[in-house]
Structure 1
Amino acid sequence: MNGAAFFLGVNFIIAICFGVVFAVVSTRSRSRTAALWFAAGFTVASLSAVCELLVAYTSLTKFWAIGAFASVLGGMILLRVGVGELYGRRVAPVWTCCFLLASIVLDLLIYDLPRGTAAHAFSYQTPFALVLLTSALAVFSSTRRLTIDRALGCLLLATGLHFFAKASLAVIAGAGTTARDYIGTNYALISQSSTAVLVVAVGLTLLSVLVLEIMADERSNSEKDALSGLANRRGFENGVKAAMALAPKAGHAVIICDLDHFKRINDTYGHHGGDLVIQAFGDLLRTSAAKNAVVGRIGGEEFAIFLPNTTLDMATLFAQALRGGTMGITVSALPSSFAVTASFGVAELAPGDDLGGAMREADTALYEAKRSGRNRVKQARQIGFPQPTSIKAGK
């Protein structure tokens, strides 16, 4: 076995492995369709290595040579479809099929041309280059702007241009007189080794994009409260840290709110009724808060809102609006006479203040609102921060 045949075997194993990995990743990825296209693309492209070996060691030279061309191009087209799915730049199935058929016809037409000539080399390599260059364009023109996305676009661009470089090398170094001669040339060794490197690079980068998506989804799920759809305590605290990092010298405000008499709601209407109330209240908070606000459910019926670049008085006005909105909540599964109320505590964070301290102040203000009769808004600076004692059981 010569060097080129060795790299053909390596390319086959690499492509098959990537096909399997992408199929597995598709079971967890939000971009499942794209991952399956990638799996199909690498699997189909792997057949080219088999065809190339059959070209050299069987009598059906032309058949297997066309098969090698078609399998590589078909695999790349499937990758292009997957890139389009992933980056929102889909391609029409009719055009992809027409392009594949036209390229195979072109390969048939140039098959008997002298190998190593510019006409044959560039006609053979151009379809591959076009597919990868349009894939790079799909990445660059998408709205995704992460570093890994830019890296993938650059890699696809370099891989597409590399096919033109291969055509030039075939003219300069020679690619054999016939298709059967190809595997024994130095050009084949260089071509297959460079392709192996680029296949691995593209495969790993595509895999990285999907894995990063899975990690982001897992993190989002671990920081989200399933019932209300808001952030849980961990997600709320992380969200606040990120928001404060964007404006470290600004003043902020925190609101802690608690549904009144929630135990009575559960006792009267069951836990399903209580869940519906939590969902409705969560929807109110989410739709009422500004886009840069951080909203979370931090306890059973307790919620928190972080308002960046907001004064205490502005936050208090917002809490009053939420109090009024809460009284207007209707839950279709509960009686029309049913009314929801909530109490609110508001505190401020001066530049450099600790979130935990502000949360404690807002919580103390919330308990004061409860003591005062519930369905109220209290500012932390209006009270002397008494220790909360007896309200917990009667929320």
Structure 2
Amino acid sequence: MSEGRLYIFTGPTVSLIVAIVFLLVWLYQKERRHVLYFAAAFVAYAAAALSQILQIPPDIGQNTMVSAIIYTFSIFCLVEGVLARFEKSGAGPLLFSVAGCILLLLYYFFYFDRNLVARIYVQNFGYGLIFLVAAAQIGVIRRRPWREQVLFWTIVLFGLHFFVRTILTMRVSSRIYELDQMRQAGADTQALAAAFRESPFWQVLNFTMLVSAFAVAIILLATIALDVIEDLKRQGAVDPLTGLANRRGFDQLAAERMADRSLAPFCVVYCDLDHFKSINDTYGHLAGDRVLQAFGKLLAAEVGHHDVAARLGGEEFVVLLARSNKAGASLFAERVRAEMDITRFTALPLHVNVTASFGVAEGRPEEDMLELLQRADAMVYAAKAAGRNCVIVERDGGA
């Protein structure tokens, strides 16, 4: 086997290795279903390339359609994986329509109007269009994490490369335009295949697909690794019982929010469940945990996108409200208080109701979070002294 012949097997070999890596990652991260799509995409790409290289099936028409179907499946798996990573619903009817048009046109330009050049443009431009349509579905969202921006632009550039590479290489591959005429003149099939493999289009295609596919694989793997790291960080900043932020998570998120002055003014609502120790002592810690979970769920349902809700420890909770003054924060606290007052818990007798006391304080210019929390906490003590199950708002100039 010649050196050139060996070279064309590099792409399928690398793709299979990459697919195995993705599969191993998925076995340890099965909740990330997009990783399985990536593995399937690279397996399919290797299978399609081998179908062409080894001429399986040997009939040219069948080989054209079989390899095209597998290539299209590969593209679809890659796109579906990216969309799943961005939590999009799926490829959608537009992408299915583009894929269907590609296969129909390939069939037409082989069996009805034999035109190799048309097939090259249809297949490459079609795949480029699929990636660009997928990129459009993802969109560019403000404040998207940088790793997602990199993945987004990778998909855009990978889609554009199909157009650029095809146009440039076809301009210097004049021999390809003659292959259909050579076939009509009775040229040997092997001679036609050899002439095609020697064309700049085929040589550049194999090289660029090897390089670009490898680059895409590296970026996808890097994105997965960063996602795992981010999840580990998030787990360290989340209270496992309620799903709200813990103290560490609250400090981090609150600092990020307060650094964005467009979200001002800020208010803190400090919450403390009333007589919670007696619930644990009388009905057990499991019942107490159910109460904490319910209150956490109530807070999570009430906060907005830019707000931060956290369990600081025990029965103490805190909410940072963005773009809220004391009046708005007071209404928020009263809404939560009233909802908690009427909530009944299956872990507790029906006659037992759980209440909470709330303290509200509005942030001051150049004030840090610790000072704001202390003022809101002081209002909670005032609420306890006022009989509990109420909201106390700090007056201007202090309590």
Q: For the superposition of Structure 1 and Structure 2, which TM-score range results when normalised by the shorter chain?
A: 0.7 to 0.9
Distance 1:140 1:338, change over 3 A: same
Contact 2:105/2:122 (8 A) holds in 1: no
1:73, distance to aligned residue in structure 2 (A): 4.1
TM-score (norm 1): 0.79
> Whole-Å Cα distance in 1 between the matches of residues 298 and 57 of structure 2?
74
Q: Which residue of 1 aligns with 2:78?
A: 79
Q: Which residue of 2 aligns with 1:161?
A: 163
Q: Which residue of 1 aligns with 2:276?
A: 262
Distance 1:132 1:384, change over 3 A: closer
Distance 1:315 1:83, change over 3 A: closer
The more displaced of 334-343 and 87-96 is 87-96
Question: 1:347-372: CA deviations, max 9, x gaps?
Answer: 23212110011112222332343345
Contact 2:237/2:245 (8 A) holds in 1: yes
Q: Does 1:142 align with 2:143?
A: no
Q: Does 1:131 align with 2:130?
A: no
1:167, distance to aligned residue in structure 2 (A): 6.1
Distance 1:313 1:13, change over 3 A: same
Gapped regions of structure 2 (runs ≥ 5): 180-190
Q: What SS does structure 2 have at the residue aligned with 1:351?
A: coil
Gapped regions of structure 1 (runs ≥ 5): 114-118, 386-395
Q: What SS does structure 2 have at the residue aligned with 1:331?
A: coil
Q: What SS does structure 1 have at the residue aligned with 2:354?
A: coil
Question: 1:282-327: CA deviations, max 9, x gaps?
Answer: 2332333344321111111110011223334543454344333332
Question: 1:187-209: CA deviations, max 9, x gaps?
Answer: 54323112212212333344455
Contact 1:76/1:132 (8 A) holds in 2: no
> Whole-Å Cα distance in 2 between the matches of residues 185 and 313 of structure 1?
74
The one-letter code of the counterpart of 1:141 is: Q
Q: Which residue of 1 aligns with 2:118?
A: 122
Task: Please give the root-mean-square deviation of Cα atoms over the aligned residues, in Å.
Answer: 3.7
Q: Which residue of 1 aligns with 2:348?
A: 334
Larger relative contact order (Cα-Cα within 8 Å, sequence gap ≥ 6)? 1
The more displaced of 208-217 and 300-309 is 208-217
Q: Which residue of 1 aligns with 2:373?
A: 359
Pairwise mapping of residues 1-395 of structure 1 onto structure 2 (< 5 A)? 4-27=4-27, 28=29, 31-32=32-33, 34-55=34-55, 62=60, 66=64, 71-83=70-82, 85-86=84-85, 87-91=88-92, 102=104, 105=107, 109=111, 119-143=115-139, 145=141, 146=144, 147-162=149-164, 164-165=166-167, 168-169=170-171, 171-172=173-174, 174=176, 177-184=191-198, 187-247=201-261, 250-380=264-394
Distance 1:179 1:344, change over 3 A: same
Distance 1:108 1:122, change over 3 A: closer
Distance 1:144 1:276, change over 3 A: farther
Aligned length: 376
Percent identity of paired positions between Structure 1 and Structure 2: 27
Q: What SS does structure 2 have at the residue aligned with 1:14?
A: helix
Q: What SS does structure 1 have at the residue aligned with 2:192?
A: coil
The one-letter code of the counterpart of 2:117 is: A
Question: 1:41-84: CA deviations, max 9, x gaps?
Answer: 211211344445535xx995859964655544442343344445
Q: What SS does structure 2 have at the residue aligned with 1:141?
A: helix
1:10, distance to aligned residue in structure 2 (A): 2.4
> Whole-Å Cα distance in 2 between the matches of residues 277 and 214 of structure 1?
31
